[in-house]
Amino acid sequence: MSASSVQVPQIVLVLCHSFFYDAFCVERPVDLKKFKLWLSSRFIANLIIERQAELPEGSSFAVTAKQVFDNFAYKFHGNKPSFRQREVVDILRNSILVIETPSITKLSIDDAVLVICDTLYSRSSYTPILLTNIPAKLERAEDFYRKKDPKAKIPYPISSTVEAEPYLRSIFPELSRTVDTRMKNSVYKF
């Protein structure tokens, strides 16, 4: 085991639906703000795949709820997916842990990711980070916690992909360099 792997905390990225739309959007946005969200989401999606590709079976770096993933998959391929589109969705499903437990799947796509974060946070060995590019998600999370206790605070970080990217780069410098190199050699030109 290398020294760098010892220092890495057990970060788990919890993915909101907005992350998927930005990361897998084919069109390069013209608007600067949207472009930054797209590029950072694309970088983080590549980082997730890169890291998951070398983790042992059963370990997960990124997680989401079934309804979030299914929602993305449907928008990605529509109701008549081609064989290749279905294959791509299957590949992504194997790079991300998709939670299918009834207690999660009965929730809305907003609440489901908050419950996953809270569950991970409550298990001391994980540090969840909720990735969302929807600014209102923070308010939604505050409302979610204040339902039970008006003074409650959100116990885990909620970040946009633009905010999370530098942090992830500092935690995974070597993997980030690999991702940068691969993105430079992309089949789509940036």
Partner 1 sequence: MLRRKEKRVKEMSADISIRKVKVLQGRAKAEAEKQGLNPNDLVILKTSVNSLPEYHVEKIEGDPVSFLLKRAKTKT
Binding site for partner 1 (CB under 8 A): 23-24, 26, 42, 45-46, 49-50, 52-54, 76-77, 82-88, 90-92, 94-95, 178-179, 182-183, 185-188
Token pair of 82 as six digits: 């081609």
| Residues sharing a CB contact under 8 Å with residue 169, sequence separation 6 or more, in sequence order | 176
Least distance in angstroms from the C-beta of 140 to partner 1: 27
Nearer to partner 1, 61 or 156 (CB): 61
Least distance in angstroms from the C-beta of 93 to partner 1: 9
- Please answer whether residues 151 and 179 qualify as being in contact, where contact means their C-beta atoms are separated by less than 8 angstroms: no
Least distance in angstroms from the C-beta of 23 to partner 1: 6
Distances (CA, A) of 63 to 16, 26, 94: 9, 22, 11
Nearer to partner 1, 75 or 146 (CB): 75
Nearer to partner 1, 39 or 114 (CB): 39
| Residues sharing a CB contact under 8 Å with residue 42, sequence separation 6 or more, in sequence order | 22, 23, 183
Least distance in angstroms from the C-beta of 92 to partner 1: 7
> Distance between CA 73 and CA 89 in Å, rounded?
6
Which residues sit opposite 62 in a β-bridge?
13
Nearer to partner 1, 14 or 49 (CB): 49
